[in-house]
Structure 1
Amino acid sequence: MKKKTQLIHGGIVGDKHTGAVTVPVYQVSTYKQDGVGNFAYEYSRTGNPTREALESLIADLEGGHAGFAFGSGMAAISAVMSLFKSGDHIILTDDVYGGTYRLMSKVLNRSNIEVTFVDTSNVEEVKNAIQENTVAIYVETPTNPLLKVTDLKEISAISKENELLFIVDNTFSTPYWQNPIELGADIILHSATKYLGGHSDVVAGLVVVNSQNLAEEVHFIQNSVGGILGPHDSWLLMRGIKTLGLRMEQTEKTTKKIVEFLLSRDDIETVYYPGIENHPGHHTHLKQATGFGGMISFDVGSGERAEKVLKETKFFTLAESLGAVESLISLPAKMTHASIPRKRRIELGITDGLIRASVGIEDADDLINDLKQALDHK
C-alpha cells in the first residue's frame, strides 16, 4: 500500500463481530474466560482490542515488528529506558526535548544509568563517546528545537559495529515522512500527542520495535509498569492518524512560505528549518526523509522581543506542544526546555530569543500576516 492508503487500511480494520468500519472503543477492564487460562483477552492493562488496533497500525506504518501504546510520550520513553540497568551508559542527542533531558539527568541517574549528551549529527563525537558500558545510542532527528539532523544510516552502522541498541525519536517527521527502522533503527519513539493525534485532544506515546525479542521485553515492561494508553485515547489517536498524510502535506506547503517570509526579514537573526538549502542537515535529511515537516525555529535577538512577539500573535496560539491543526508558538528557553540549565541552553544555541513555531493547517497568508504584525509591533 502507498502511505496514504496505509494510514486508512493499515493495522486492524473494523470490527469482525459487528461489521463496524472502525474499531470500536472497548471500554472494558476485564474479560470473561472460557475456562481457566482460555481467553482472547485477560485484563486491559495486558491487552485491549482498541489499543491493540492502534499498536498494530503504528507497527505497520513504521515497518516494525510490533507497536506499543503508552499514556504519554514520556511514559513511552521511560518504558524504553526500563530496558537498561544500573551501570549502563547511553549516548543521547544533545539538542533534545527538555522533558527527555529531565528524565535522563534527574530521574535515571537515581538508578545509576549514565548518559552522555553529544551532537549526534557529528559522527566522530558519537564514536568518541562510546564507553565499555555503552548499551544504546538515542537520537532525535530533526531535533527539538534547533532541527539538527542526524544521519540515521551512519549511526546505525556505528550501533551495529559496537552491538548497541539504536533508538530514534521520530516525533517531528512522523512515519509519513521518515521510517527509521528501514534505515537501521531498533526502536522508534513517538510523542503521539503531536502530529499523530494532530488535534490537541489526546496525550499519548508510541513505541515500535524491529524484533520479536524486543517486542517481548517491551510488552513485559508495559504490562508490569502499567503506563498504558486507555481505549478512548487509542481510538482518538487512530482517528487522527487517518488524516496524517493530508495534514503533513498541507502543513509543509504553508511552512515553506512562512520560512521564505522569515528569511526575507533583516530583523530575524537565524531561521532553523531543514528545508533551507544552507541548513547544516539539509542534504542528510533529503537522503532519509521525503518531507521537511512543519516545525520552524527562529531567533528574534532577545528574550524581551521574543515575549512581545508571542504576546501579539493572533492565529499562532501561545501554548506547549506541537503538531496540531492549529498553529502553536512557544519560547523554548522558558517553556519546553526550561528544565535545561541556562548555561547549557546557550551552549546548545537555545537562546532566550529563540521562538519555536508549529505550523498548522490555517491559510498561509493569514499566518504570515499574523507573524508580520507581531514582529512589527513596537
Structure 2
Amino acid sequence: MHDNTMQELETRRYFAAGLLEWYDRNKRDLPWRRTSDPYHIWVSEVMLQQTRVDTVIPYYFRFLEKFPDVEALAHAPEEEVLKAWEGLGYYSRARNLQSAVREVHERYGGTVPDRKEDFSSLKGVGPYTAGAVLSIAYNVPEPAVDGNVMRVLSRFFLIEDDIAKGPTRVKMEKLARELIPEGEAGSFNQALMELGATVCTPRSPHCLTCPVMERCRGRLEGRAEELPVKTKAKPPRIEARAVALIEGSGPHAGKLLIRRRPRQGLLANMWELPHIEIERPAGKAAAAQQGAEMEALGAGLAETDGVTVLPERWLMDAEHIFSHIRWELAVYRCRLDPRFEAAGLPPHYRWLDAGEMERYAFPNVFLRILAEVGIEQT
C-alpha cells in the first residue's frame, strides 16, 4: 500500500476517533438524545431542519405530548398538526411528516422501517433525514450530511468544491460514509453535527478547542474561515401585498375577518388576514401610495373573493421572507360593507374571536400582525 494511502487512512482514523472521544465528553444534553425511539428522533430531525435547537426544544415536547407515537400523528386532523407546528415555519415539513407517518402506519404496521430503501421512499424523507434517523435510532451505517457536516469536512480535508452543487454533496456523502467507524454510526454522525454546530462554526470557528485541529488541513493552511466554498443563492423575489384587517360590527363586534388559504401551494390550508398582491411604483408619495393601495385592496378582494370591504387607514407594515419570496406587507384597517355582512361570507372566511385562536393555525407573519393589534393566544 502506498505511503499516501496509508497516511490518508491514518488521518481518517484519527478524525473519527478524536470526534467520538470529544463527543462522549462534550455532547449537549438534548431531549432527543435521551431516546432511541425512531419516531421521536424523526420528529426532532424534521423540526431541526432550518430551525435553531433552542427554538425546537419546547415545540418537540409539546408536539410529542400531543402526538406521542405514529398512531396518534397518523390519525390526527391536519389542522391540529399545523397548529402544533405554528411558529416553526416551513409548514411543508409538518405536512410531509404526517403523510410519511401515515405511510408507516399503513405499510409497516406503525413501526418506522430500518431499511434505507423503505425509509427513503417515504414522503419528504431525503438523504440527510434518512441517514440521521437510521443511524441514530438503528445504528445503520448511513451518513447524515447537512450544512454543518459539509463545513467540517470541507475544512478538515481541504475540499474546495462548491457545496451548493449536487455532485459535491454526493462526494461528501461518500466520504462521510467511509469515515463511519464500525458499530458507531449514530454517535459518529451526531459528533460530526455537534462539532459543526458548536465548534466549527460558519464564522470565527473555535479552532483551539477543536479535538481534531492538529490535522485539520484548512486550519494548517490558514484557510478555515474561507471554507466551505458556496455560491450565493438568488435573492428572494419581492412581492408587495396589501392586507385587510377587517373589524366586525353588530353581532361580530370585537372580531376580525380571516380566510383560509387553498389546499395546495404556499402555506396550504392555513389561516390568514385577507390580502392581495399589489403594484408599488417607486417615487410615489406615501399618502398617494396608501390611497392607491387601499383602492386596490377593496377592488382586489371584491374580484378574487367576492368580499366587499371599505379600507379606512394604514395601520402598519410587516415583512416575511420565505426561501424564494419576500412579502412586503402594508396592513390597512378596514370594515366590511354592512350590506355584504348581512349576505353571508364565502365558505373559506370566518370571524375570529380572540378566545378561539387555538382553533386556527396562522403563519408567523400574521401572528405578529395579530399580536401587534392586541390579539394573541393565551
TM-score, length basis structure 2: 0.26
Higher helix proportion (structure 1 or 2): 2
Larger Rg: 2
Which one scores higher on RCO, CA 8 angstroms, separation ≥ 6? 1
TM-score, length basis structure 1: 0.26
